[in-house]
Structure 1
């Protein structure tokens, strides 16, 4: 399964959610890959920390290869590197993504990532894709190639207004390019249960029939320490309440639907 984590609004926790869900998948023994399409490279920094180097294979190299006519037999896996965590690999971001975007658009390479995901799915059980805070070439490429979309949401009115546009954009891509694409759910992030506004906004979203996922992820200063140490929560503090909420969210996302009991005659 390839899961895109996307929101056009910045600062909603895309990279944090991407890396922590991926780390949980890996900690459960699943072959897991993170693809970082955001030129800011927050997911890459989060997972690599001081082990990151400028000359390492990266997603910019993959897209640059897509523009070339090289006969060199490279595949998508050639742009993947290991992280310090067992079974967790990364296709890292780099600054060249901004420069490559116009060339990729003009050369109509929008389906190249989908082809790569089909190949990578043979080597990985779970693929998580972190996206820029914009519906640009890279985000569209990810949505066209993925099987699911996860939407981080922080509880304010600006996020709510952006959410409706985002859902319309995802449905348009589903209709035009990728009938397998589904919104797996809205992840409520940095939730403060004692504040009236967040609870009211979430309740209204649920009343509208939107797929708000449980549990809500609580606000915690511990996540900043996780970022600073480049250790996802499941490795940094597995018993913390935020870690437990992330694990529950992960297991809810990937729970197999229960079979309905057959009626006895």
Structure 2
């Protein structure tokens, strides 16, 4: 299973969702990989902490190699590193991803990630974190993935952006990857006692959009999790938000079994 977490809007929790779902997957004995394609490297920092400086080569090296070796798949395992968590590995991001972007786009290397992952059979679950833009790396991820998960903050700006995002995914499906499925919209930083968030969610559901039943609450605990470079399942497994992530992971697994 290859899952991309995508939203063109920044600050909606893509990296947090990627790392916490991946950590739960790994904790259940599933061999799991996180691929970080955002030059800000938030997922990489979250999973590696102080070890991030030792994790080389990175995703930037993978794509730089793709520019050189045009006629055979890149050996992707060279760019993957273990995290401190059992069964969980990462291909870390690097700031050089921004520098390479123009070259990769002009030379149409959009299928290189898909081709490399097609040769990779050692993982049962792959989570791909993307930049907050529909750029080369995001398109590469959507082409390489089987499922797309969309984080959503409960505000009107996010709602307006959501329709454009869904159209962009549909275009990728039609032009590049007809196997890609929109797995669902994740309601993040949800405040159940506030009327506006619930109203927005109800409206999305009434429009027939694939809103997932699981909700992720807003909590300062997630900041502690980032600061300590420990996904919630390892920092405080009994916390309410940890249980919400477990519920989301379970919902996705159950949906996967029925499709």
Q: TM-score normalized by structure 1?
A: 0.94
Gaps of 5+ in 1: 260-265
CA distance in 2, matches of 1:103, 1:17: 30
* Secondary structure in 2 matching 1:217: strand
* Secondary structure in 2 matching 1:53: helix
Work out the number of aligned pairs and report it. Answer: 258
Contact 1:188 1:213 in 2 (8 A): yes
CA distance 1:72–1:7, change in 2 (3 Å): closer
CA distance in 1, matches of 2:212, 2:73: 42
CA distance 1:202–1:63, change in 2 (3 Å): same
Equivalence for 1:47: 47
**Aligned positions of 1:191-202 closer than 5 A:** 191-202=190-201
CA distance in 2, matches of 1:95, 1:35: 15
Equivalence for 1:262: none
Equivalence for 1:21: 21
* Secondary structure in 1 matching 2:214: coil
Equivalence for 1:183: 182
1:108-162 CA-partner distances (Å, limit 9, x unpaired): 1000011112122x11000000000000000000001100100000000000000
Contact 1:48 1:83 in 2 (8 A): yes
Runs (4 or more) in structure 1 with deviation over 2 Å come to: 69-74, 256-259
Which deviates the most, 54-63 or 196-205? 54-63
Contact 1:2 1:117 in 2 (8 A): no
**Aligned positions of 1:144-223 closer than 5 A:** 144-223=143-222
1:59-90 CA-partner distances (Å, limit 9, x unpaired): 00000000114999961011000000001000
CA distance 1:69–1:216, change in 2 (3 Å): closer
CA distance in 1, matches of 2:69, 2:253: 39
CA distance 1:117–1:258, change in 2 (3 Å): closer
Contact 2:142 2:172 in 1 (8 A): yes
Q: Compare CA radii of gyration and give the structure with the larger one.
A: 1
Gaps of 5+ in 2: none
Contact 2:19 2:43 in 1 (8 A): yes
